[in-house]
Structure 1
Amino acid sequence: MPDREDDMSIAPLSEVESLPAWAIPPKEGFVAEDLDRLPGIPPHTELIDGTLVFVSPQTNFHMSMLFLLESELRRAVPADLRIKREMTVTLGKRQRPEPDILVVHVEAVTGPGQTTYRPEDVVLAVEVVSAESEIRDRKRKPELYAAAGIPHFWRIENTEGHPTVYVYELDPATGSYALTGIHHDRLKLDLPFGVDIDLAEIDDL
């Protein structure tokens, strides 16, 4: 007589067939173009190392920080650059992460149907670290951005409800990011363009 536990561990064929196309990865992994063609894929899905990464519900800190940054960067950005929020960058065949905020060259913006940018389009990538994405935001994604040649990267941490901004610049000799500053109360920089952001304003959002 078949073991009941063994029987329960195998999903019926009808259940497998009813799963969405993205629920079972292909043998060789997903590729960047799959994010545009997989039906029913959750919003803001990323592709990292050929694996789909889904976004968890965001915290109030995360969303407030994005609002503050986006608003202030739009005020400061020069005419030849644009601010984009939660858009993917296609870094390679199996790499299509979605930074929280991007600064891109104006000529890279091609129209309302655009879904991704190339690394050479990007001047700055920003990640606001969430509890579920700590390893990706602190380690893997900066490695990918640096290897692709994105010149500036900011990582923002939640320090007891207040933002700490780690600012990095690409070292072309090593192909990796060098930390150029840690900012707690005010983010005042000249590169990639002049900004002066009062980080304490997050308390009013």
Structure 2
Amino acid sequence: MGQLPDPLRRYVDEVLMEPDRARDVAARMLADEEVMLYLSVVSMAAVALTPEELSEQLRLYQERFRDSGVDVTESLEVIEEHDMWKLKQLRENLMRYASAMADFAREYPEDAHEYLVTYLSASLLLMAALEARSPEELVSVGRALNRVAEDLEAFTLTFRLTVEGPESERQGVAGVIRGPDDLRRVLS
């Protein structure tokens, strides 16, 4: 706690006060050049993390929520899966990953924006969890995190199918898989 840079702190504090508005805060944060520059530098440093270090960080969040009465286990697993997958792609499959993400952003700009808002929302909620000073704040943050993680899971699945699908079956980006019906349609 207390280690957030000032420009980022105001967004985290806002999310802590109203966790259900994390998406609105994240959308506004996208327009803040200073914060986005800071986050891009931090994300470059995050690439140096080992999978074990990334898992350990998420275990610390699990500990933080343990006694709050809200179960965020599945949400943290979704975030871990997403981050581990991205880390693997950046290290082992950079060109294909970058190409697929660029195609996604070009062909589906609204969905690409929604992904950024979703991912930033999850990040803001995790930071807010570390700043929470009361059990009530932690419960509110945990519930909001559970909702955001559902959407992040859909993006993770979409990106995995887009990037990892066999080249002969890859027809480009097909949109965002938003539930079981979309998944069945894509796989059939």
- The two structures have a TM-score, normalised by structure 2, of 0.31
More RCO (CA 8 Å, sep 6+) = 2
More strand by share: 1
More helix by share: 2
- The two structures have a TM-score, normalised by structure 1, of 0.29
